[in-house]
Chain A
């Protein structure tokens, strides 16, 4: 992850604007009180996951196919989406477990404004890789209609599991479902 540099008027200004915009997002759309059972669904037909190449926050290009042979959790989210924000802390806790078990996590932010994403991730202490789908071309090409949505890709590159809506990602049953896909 890149280092934050608060020196420089333009960056401070950008930070202020981002903070204001983020605050608007945080307060304007209250979190729904929606709670549900914690499990992932088997994806009908286990379709091949469409490959993508997207930049991370440092500008490095990351391809899904780089992780073939591994289980990959792909999460689509946005800073302004309440259930996306709600699941980020549990996703970080899940990453703390999964990263040592050779499972990859790629969180794809749908839409632009890199600075806003960066500020958000800093506030939430996120350490897992975050990619930017600024044009939303990848999001539109995947089998998804809303946010958040998550897919678990098996080592053969097929979408094995899916979750539409937020989840508590460090739930033991869900972690077990993900790890069961390992060869």
Chain B
């Protein structure tokens, strides 16, 4: 327990120091269009490990997430500012991740849940993980948004394009964010 806490502290300290030295957050992206508003940025492996150790994951499981997850933080929702603006539905399951010549989907909380069963992760970290990840399917009224982590399941430093898919008033919309890069 002491070692675990010390690890969290050191990882946190390293991140705070790097922030204080003026390093800007790499690859922060914003997009707004066709009813959708999105902010997304990659998390470094140290940040991911410390966050999940702080959420009761073992050091090895937290390292597993950091090394394989390609975790981004995000805030996504309805760009509408008036109550009668159309609703937006975000469909994470339809997003496409293109790296090289391979196209894959987002690693959703449901897919991660299967991984945790195989790795025999305890209930408390599983609960924290579920609610930390961005919802797979969500309807947003104007001014609504969710915060959450999104996992693209690529090795650290991998570059990729991300095709977003959402519904605006029931009509499918798409936009591609090019040249995203997993944190290192």
Interface residues in chain A, defined as those with a beta carbon under 8 Å from any beta carbon in chain B: 16-17, 20-21, 23-25, 27-30, 32-34, 36-39, 41, 78, 80-83, 110-113, 134-136, 139, 145-147, 162-166
Number of interface residues of B (CB under 8 A): 48
B58 at the interface (CB under 8 A from A): no
Q: Chain B nearest CB: distance from A83 CB in Å?
A: 5
Residue numbers in A under 8 Å from B15 (CB-CB): 27-28
Q: Is the interface of A mostly helix, strand, loop or mixed?
A: loop
Smallest distance from the beta carbon of A45 to chain B beta carbons, Å? 13
Contact A81-B51, Cβ < 8 Å, known A20-B9, A21-B5: no
Q: Which residue of A lies closest to B47 (CB)?
A: A28
Flag if A139 contacts B73 (CB, 8 Å).
no
Which DSSP category, helix, strand, loop or mixed, fits chain B's interface?
A: mixed
Q: Mark B92-106, 1 if CB is under 8 A from A, else 0.
A: 000000000000000
| One of B111-119, B135-143, B160-168 contacting the partner | B135-143
Task: Given A32-B75, A34-B77, A135-B123, decide whether A111 and B131 contact each other with a Cβ distance below 8 A.
Answer: yes
Give the residues in chain A near B131, CB-CB below 8 Å: 78, 81, 110-111, 136, 139, 146-147
Also in contact, A112 and B127, with CB within 8 A (given A25-B54, A80-B55, A164-B146): yes
